[in-house]
Amino acid sequence: MASIDIVPGPVDTVRAEGVWSQIRYHAAAHPLGVIGAVIMLVFVFAAIFADFITVFDPIRTNSLVSLAPPGHTHWLGADNMGRDIYSRIVYGARISLAVGLGSTFIGCVFGVALGLTSGYLGGWVDLVIQRIVDVLQAVPLLVLALVMAAALGPALDNTIVAIAIPLIPYTARVVRSSTLTLREQPFVEAARAVGMSEFRIAVRHVLPNTLAPLIVIATAQLGAAILTEASLSFLGLGVPEPHPSWGRMLSESAAEYVRTAPWLVIFPGAAISLAVFGTNLFGDALRDILDPRLRN
């Protein structure tokens, strides 16, 4: 049977060129957003290919190179137990991204469910949900995460849950605000007129129109989740040993070796700062692109 070659038609070519032209336009208009995206891609690349871009085992100790300064063998030096700092930072990217993405996803899922239900149904449902959200939002993010982490115990899964719960009210507020506006739009009334159920209207017509602000808040929460995970690990309530965590690396060396071996503090701190800085830059650019009120 003869093979059939599928040649892209003119419509597909025009669409592809249109997408790339929009990407080039937004990249030129938001250079800081491009920098943030590049930083995020570097950390994602490091997390995925950590096994191939490192030489040393991040948890293997070697007393012969204890507190070795940055050099040819250990690019970023070694800690007090002889573990390679570069390897620990690269593998620590996996922990930070896993916690950040996991907690952001869980927080967004529950926040969207609460915000959509609250804004669309209104009435006593809205009143009850918003009072719960008020209680959660009244406590600072780090404080509530500390309470949850202390209650659940130090573990990777528990850290994700402990950070996800304080993120829920922020997403719920944003989705509820968009839903209150969207439920009064003519397309919702038209959907009711043709006999659609309220659940279907909310999921198929209202929810997709809240994605733009949701993407922006999720990007901002990703940076906050990474910083919160580092703070919990610094206090001993985050990801436990032997997992390499940027916050725990600071906790182990900040007080005792900051003068004699400053590379133990500088490089993990720089990794945390760059990760949060990159997500914030990228989130600000997404806000400018997706929010019609900020477009030129």
Place of tokens 């926040």: 111
Half-sphere exposure of 291 (CA within 13 A, CB side): 15
User: Which is it for the CA torsion 27, 30, 33, 34, positive or negative?
Assistant: positive
d(CA 130, CA 150): 26
Domain map (residue ranges) of the chain: 41-59+78-291
Tokens of 182: 């969207």
Q: What is the pLDDT of residue 188?
A: 86
Place of tokens 């930070």: 96
d(CA 54, CA 288): 37
Kindly report which listed range (61-70, 145-154, 212-221, 254-263) carries the lowest average pLDDT score.
Answer: 254-263
Task: Name all contacts of 47-51 with Cβ < 8 Å and 24+ positions apart.
Answer: 47/90, 47/93, 47/94, 47/97, 50/90, 50/91, 50/93, 50/94
> Which has the higher per-residue pLDDT, 42 or 252?
42
The rounded mean pLDDT for the chain is: 86
- What CATH homologous superfamily does 41-59+78-291 map to? MetI-like (1.10.3720.10)
Give the type of residue at 243: H
d(CA 215, CA 63): 47
Whole-prediction pTM: 0.85
d(CA 76, CA 151): 36
Quick: pLDDT tens for 7-55: 555 555 556 567 778 778 877 888 888 999 999 999 999 999 999 999 8
Cβ neighbours, 10 Å, residue 169 = 25
Quick: pLDDT tens for 220-245: 899 999 999 999 988 888 888 778 88
Q: Is the pLDDT assigned to residue 96 strictly greater than 50? A: yes
d(CA 267, CA 246): 9
d(CA 168, CA 113): 10
Give the type of residue at 97: L
Average pLDDT on 258-281 reads 90
SS3 62: coil
Tokens of 1: 């049977």
Average pLDDT on 165-175 reads 92
Q: Is the pLDDT assigned to residue 169 strictly greater than 50? A: yes
